[in-house]
Amino acid sequence: MQPVVVNGTTAVVTGRISPSGSESPLVARTGRHKQRYENGVRLLAGCIPYRTVSKVGADGRSQDITEVLLITSQHGKALLFPKGGWEIDETMEEAALREAMEEAGVRGVLGEALGAYDFKSKRKEQEDGNWTQLDCRAYVYPLRVTEEMETWPEQDSRSRSWCPLDEAITKLRHDWMQQALSQWGATLGPSVFSA
């Protein structure tokens, strides 16, 4: 795939055929020239995609539980929720929604921001080939999923899977993601956890 410039932003366009048979280009932004930084800290936006499903418990009763959509990292099998750079031409909410569509292929309704989570990202610098750590701050939102797309920009480099909220907490690779998910889950009450 060759990068192209769309509205002044470098992007990768993947032409996909929709169920109706027409081509529908899906765009994933690339590059960091529009990234937001604050005092040397890279700013990111992300979301916790979720849905509520009914499951029959051991007692035969139907119970609603919350499931979370996790995605794999681009170059590995680590499980994450969608997040990425908050760019200068978008609001924080727009960035979170864009990342959910690009990385996980979902759209939905954002809830209130859960907070800001600071962490260090390990990135390889191109100039000298050394690994460096970059200070990052991610703003995270819950996202009630209303649409799960059949095709999305990063589907060739990521897998996605639904799992119960309590199970998702243990599967997430990063401590800060586990913390965000645990804090959000606690606000929902015990009924959202799997039986």
Give the pLDDT confidence of 39-55 residue by residue, as tens digits.
999 999 999 999 999 88
Question: Across-strand partners of 113?
Answer: none
Amino acid in position 192: V
Higher pLDDT, 21 or 118: 118
Residue 83 sits at φ, ψ, to 5 deg, of -165, 155
Query: Where in the chain are the domains?
Result: 36-189
Burial label for 106, CB within 10 Å (0-12, 13-18, 19+), is buried
Percentage of the chain surpassing pLDDT 90? 60
C-alpha–C-alpha distance, residues 181 and 195, integer Å:
18
Q: Return the CATH fold of 36-189.
A: Nucleoside Triphosphate Pyrophosphohydrolase (3.90.79)
- What is the mean pLDDT of the segment spanning 159-181? 94
Is residue 132 predicted with pLDDT exceeding 90? no
Q: What is the pLDDT of residue 3?
A: 37
**Residue 30: pLDDT band by 50, 70, 90 thresholds?**
low
190 Cβ neighbours under 8 A, 6+ residues apart: none
Stated pTM of the model: 0.78
Token pair, residue 122, equals 């390990």
**Residue 14: pLDDT band by 50, 70, 90 thresholds?**
very low
Q: What is the pLDDT of residue 76?
A: 79
Percentage of the chain surpassing pLDDT 70? 76
| SS3 track for the chain | CCEEEECCEEEEEEEEECCCCCEEEEEEECCCCCECEECCEEEEEEEEEEEEEEEECCCCCEEEEEEEEEEECCCCCCEECCEEECECCCCHHHHHHHHHHHHHCEEEEECCCCEEEEEEEEEECCCCCCEEEEEEEEEEEEEEEEEECCCCCCCCCCCEEEEEHHHHHHHECCHHHHHHHHHHHHHHCHHHCCC
**Residue 188: pLDDT band by 50, 70, 90 thresholds?**
confident
